[in-house]
A and B are shown apart, each in its own frame.
Chain A
Amino acid sequence: MLSSIPIFPAQASTFAADVDKLYFLVLGVTSFFAIAVVIFVAIFAIKYQDHSGTQVGAPIHGSIPLELAWSFIPFVISIGIFAYATVVYFEIVRPPAETLQIYSTGKRWMWRFQHINGRAEINELHVPKGRPVKITFTSEDVLHDIYIPAFRVKADAIPGRYSEIWFEPSQIGDFHLFCAEYCGTKHSGMIGRVVVMEPRDYQAWLSGSDGQPLAARGQQLFQQLACVTCHLNDGTGRGPSLAGVYGSKVELANGSGVVADEGYIRESILTPQMKLVSGFQPVMPTFQGLVNEEGVMSLIEYIKSLPAPAPAQTTTAPAARPAQR
């Protein structure tokens, strides 16, 4: 990946080239203005130089058309860059529907990556080439930040909530993984490598797993923590059925709605009263302290693995609510 003195980073994800295109466009536009101003300043400074210091300049006070031109033209150009940059941004922050899910937690000063088949790794991340990968992650202490320059992605790891990045590796190799949010003593040691492999090699690597699949671990927790006593899959429990809830739109007691993504499920486990599902009583206790971040991730994987109820019943699972109140 790295020659002796690189001046440009590797383009190892599908959108890296788009980010670089944007970079060169902005570089071109800004260089044009910078060079133009420098040339004008240089020409004026030399052409109108007065060694005596006693001459006066021409009585020119301004020009409204010029002012309007050099306000309006840069403004229009700015809007153009803004729009283009925003399109690229949405490409970076919006993962496709089908992704390979990986979980991660950062804590001082290491990254733990958890693959859903159970394999976990520290400060290394193995991913297959040519497949969109989504990493859902949080921090167990202070702020951190997953930054993979070769992929042009970065997001803060924030304690108490999930962040998400996605990328599709396009190049086999080893790439830097940095913590980009200052986190104390060994901040610059909180680094690692991302290993992009051929899908076949990745499968082989994954199967060297010793751990239990995440969803299975989640299922055990679901029993142990007695979630199962209220969240019945047929919708008759004291809590809403969780079958097929992942990715669906949930109607809340306060009248608003929320998409049941990883972040919402995590929040519902740790602070259940925050976004109560419409039609249910606030009877669920918090599981803060009873389940760690990895446990929460297992539970989420388990909930994701629950099949949506058959269409003969209600398709909008969360709306199927018992008659209460």
Chain B
Amino acid sequence: MTTTALPRRTYLNHEFGVKSWLLTKDHKRIGLMYLVFVTLAFMLGGLFAAAVRAELTTPAGDLWSSDTYNKLFTMHGIMMVFFVLIPAVPAILGNFVLPLMIGAKDVAFPKINLISWYVFVIGFVFTVSAMVFGGVDTGWTFYVPYSTQASNTNVMMTGIGVFIAGFSSILTGVNFMVTIHRMRAPGMTWFRLPLLVWALYATSLIQVLGTPVIAITVFMLALERGLGFGIFDPTLGGDPVLFQHLFWFYSHPAVYIMILPPMGVISEVIACFSRKSIFGYSFVAFSSLAIAVFGFVVWAHHLFVAGISPYSAMVFSFLSFAVAIPSAVKTFNWTATMYKGAIWWKSPMFYVFGFMGLFLVGGLTGLFLASLGLDVHLHDTYFVVAHFHYIMVGGAIMGFFAGLHYYWPKITGRMFNDTLGKTSAVLIFVGFNLTFFPQFILGYLGMPRRYHAYPPEFQVFNVLSSAGATVLAVGYALPVLYFTYSIFKGQAAGNNPWGATGLEWTTQSPPLPENFPDQPVVTEEAYDYSKREIKVA
């Protein structure tokens, strides 16, 4: 297939104009609208990270003032966590493919879906304004009493932004849950669902049950900061550690909001490019639910040195080890899926290889931190910074990129340059390791996080880290180029360029506004490659 002609009528060209986008109820267009803002947030967050890494090339705090540096890492965290990692896979890819995967015309509540996008954008605008009008310096964790008593930056406005964006997350979660319950095509039983759908379902559970807690916590913070209510401040009779409990009760499960959907993407891509059904489908599906449930009972492992009793620390340490098991099970199943497969080395699969390597390191270093005797030393050092970047960037962003490359032909109808795709995957993998691996060593050496200046003996590893960040930046910039090029010059993809199973690949690319010409009917398990004759673009 070397044609450049796309299908005549698609979700992209059946209406035109700004209004047709801003008032659309089409889940596919809404997904793309999220892509725009998440990309913006990713660029902003990336700029902040670059400024942080530039400062840390020298031990002295000589590039920015301390206050500026503190704002930079705070705004990097807030942008990346609330406006990139949490919405990336569910709101962009989930919105685009979920209805397609289950054979539905749209999500259950298309108007609410549009409202969640607007809510997200309003939250984004609030947060960005807070940054433009002076910034915020509390760290993304907003720990009290610093955030209520000491900080004289835009804590309130940022808090409002995060508060608002949370509602977008809740609405999307509710929408997806109802969609998965009510909108499945005839024959699409629960155990025929693609694993990305299971992962999105588990994620929605966390979004719906967890996000209200952060909203309440931020609200209480505002009451104390604005009106002097004594909730967290000990001089007013409050308890600062209570804030940490409440904050992490959401923010630890939020880590699973970030990583579960990419895990679902990995299952899709690995099955497709191994031409095999996922090894242990039901174990992979249920491990998503297990992670969602166990994820709610490990929050206090962020408080091992914050004055909690040694016995409660024991309980939370044990539970934290337990939550590692479902992730291990997933990893083993993905590996086993490749056994006796027919592995096609295309760019999405390269991102999966990258994900596997980075997620392994991220997940396993979590065991160091769950170990009480080690966490005392490692807590709040660069070891923790390295650990969660391996999970959130190495795992979640790599998984998002795997998904973006996998679904790009479906989204745009055009193929991108596969060699460049692989190149960027390799660059990201190498750059990432160069950036973050030295931070494990720094952490064990004892370099605390959020340090504007540091003792000179830590410099070598910091320079390595900053050098790696530049490679990483190139790796992230490259896809912008070849994706953009593909929109104008890429070959037409056809319905199913990767030869994948799944309903989303049975319709045209880009899909019709109503997704399918006729109601699809499902008659087989997910990932049933064995009986097929595979044609690829």
| A152 CA / B375 CA spacing, docked (Å) | 10
| A26 and B307 form a contact (CB under 8 A) | no
User: Is A86 on the interface with B (CB-CB < 8 A)?
Assistant: yes
Known: A44-B343, A60-B279. A187 touches B377 (CB 8 A): no
User: Is A256 on the interface with B (CB-CB < 8 A)?
Assistant: no
Q: B138 — nearest CB in chain A belongs to which residue?
A: A182
User: Is A261 on the interface with B (CB-CB < 8 A)?
Assistant: no
Residues on the A chain within 8 Å of B226, using CB: none
User: Is A236 on the interface with B (CB-CB < 8 A)?
Assistant: no
| B66 and A188 form a contact (CB under 8 A) | yes
Known: A48-B341, A56-B342, A142-B146. A37 touches B534 (CB 8 A): no
* Least distance between B419 CB and chain A CB atoms (Å): 14
Residue from B444, B448, B454, B498 within 8 A of A8 (CB atoms):
B444
Among B53-89, those with CB < 8 Å from A are: 61, 66-67, 70
User: Is A154 on the interface with B (CB-CB < 8 A)?
Assistant: yes
Among B478-537, those with CB < 8 Å from A are: 498-499, 529-530, 532-536
Residue from B325, B342, B452 within 8 A of A75 (CB atoms):
B325
User: Is B219 on the interface with A (CB-CB < 8 A)?
Assistant: no
Residues on the A chain within 8 Å of B307, using CB: 155-156, 158, 161, 163
Residue from A48, A74, A81, A87 within 8 A of B340 (CB atoms):
A48
| A187 and B451 form a contact (CB under 8 A) | yes
How many A residues touch B, CB cutoff 8 Å?
92
* Least distance between B242 CB and chain A CB atoms (Å): 11
Interface stretch (choices B17-25, B128-136, B200-208, B330-338): B330-338
User: Is A251 on the interface with B (CB-CB < 8 A)?
Assistant: no
Known: A158-B241, A160-B240. A62 touches B281 (CB 8 A): yes
Q: A32 — nearest CB in chain B belongs to which residue?
A: B364
Among A51-78, those with CB < 8 Å from B are: 51-63, 66-67, 70-71, 74-75, 78
Interface stretch (choices A15-23, A214-222, A240-248): A15-23
Residues on the B chain within 8 Å of A291, using CB: none
User: Is A179 on the interface with B (CB-CB < 8 A)?
Assistant: yes
Residues on the B chain within 8 Å of A142, using CB: 143, 145-146, 149-150
Q: Mark A129-169, 1 if CB is under 8 A from B, else 0.
A: 00000000000011101010110111110111101000000
| A30 and B536 form a contact (CB under 8 A) | no
User: Is B137 on the interface with A (CB-CB < 8 A)?
Assistant: yes
Residues on the A chain within 8 Å of B321, using CB: 78-79, 81-82
| A38 CA / B433 CA spacing, docked (Å) | 15
Q: Mark B291-314, 1 if CB is under 8 A from A, else 0.
A: 000000000000001110010011
| A2 CA / B306 CA spacing, docked (Å) | 29
User: Is A302 on the interface with B (CB-CB < 8 A)?
Assistant: no
User: Is B252 on the interface with A (CB-CB < 8 A)?
Assistant: no
Q: B440 — nearest CB in chain A belongs to which residue?
A: A27
User: Is A5 on the interface with B (CB-CB < 8 A)?
Assistant: yes
User: Is A97 on the interface with B (CB-CB < 8 A)?
Assistant: no
Residues on the B chain within 8 Å of A153, using CB: 376-377
| A18 CA / B377 CA spacing, docked (Å) | 12
User: Is A287 on the interface with B (CB-CB < 8 A)?
Assistant: no
Interface stretch (choices B44-52, B104-112, B365-373, B393-401): B365-373
User: Is B11 on the interface with A (CB-CB < 8 A)?
Assistant: no
- Point out which of B313, B371, B530 has the most chain A C-beta atoms below 10 A from its C-beta: B371
Q: Mark A161-201, 1 if CB is under 8 A from B, else 0.
A: 10100000000000010111111111111010000000000
* Least distance between A249 CB and chain B CB atoms (Å): 17
| A33 and B317 form a contact (CB under 8 A) | no
Residues on the B chain within 8 Å of A56, using CB: 275-276, 342, 529-530, 532, 534
Known: A48-B338, A158-B306. A85 touches B373 (CB 8 A): yes
Residues on the B chain within 8 Å of A275, using CB: none
| A44 and B338 form a contact (CB under 8 A) | yes
Q: A38 — nearest CB in chain B belongs to which residue?
A: B357
| A57 and B374 form a contact (CB under 8 A) | no
Residue from B145, B380, B446, B499 within 8 A of A141 (CB atoms):
B145
Question: Could you list 16 further interchain pairs (A-B, Cβ under 8 angstroms) beyond the known A34-B360, A54-B536, A159-B145?
Answer: A2-B455, A19-B376, A48-B338, A53-B498, A57-B275, A60-B340, A62-B279, A67-B333, A71-B325, A145-B305, A154-B376, A156-B306, A158-B234, A182-B449, A183-B146, A188-B66
